[in-house]
Amino acid sequence: MDKIFLNGLSFYAYHGALKEENILGQVFKVDLVLELDLAKAGENDDLSQTVHYGHVYETVKYIVEGEPLKLIEAVAEKVSEAVLKQFPQIKQLTVKLTKPTPPIPGHYDSVAVEIVRGRNND
């Protein structure tokens, strides 16, 4: 399956299990892998035969910067649901949601979840 990658999307939001996270907010990073057939788009140089990744970005932004949730797992799930609903040509997608600076003690680069979701009826 062909793939479109959207890497390092950055948003400021208020997700987290701790009260301080809901008040102060923090940066969240999102990486997406969209799996779909890109043959016709490539052959015809036609945007209507692919996914407009600017529109995908806006969908992700709406979810991530929207209603605060406790878990990044829940944010990733909502992103996958919204993208699959809005872009029917996508057969499967991978959503990686990264919290670069979670309020936990220790030394690390970040924490993240990654989920893979697809269509059940294909």
DSSP string, 58-119: HHHHHHHTSS--S-HHHHHHHHHHHHHHH-TT--EEEEEEEESS-S-SS--S-EEEEEEEE-
The CATH code that applies to domain 2-118 is: 3.30.1130.10
pLDDT at 121: 54
pLDDT tens string 28-74: 999 999 999 999 999 999 999 999 999 999 999 999 999 999 999 99
pLDDT at 87: 97
Which of 19, 70, 78, 99 is an active site residue?
99
pLDDT band at 95 (very low <50, low <70, confident <90, very high): very high
Give me the residue spans of the domains in the chain: 2-118
pLDDT band at 122 (very low <50, low <70, confident <90, very high): very low
Using the predicted structure, report yes or no on whether residue 76 has a pLDDT greater than 80. yes
User: Is 85 known to be catalytic?
Assistant: no
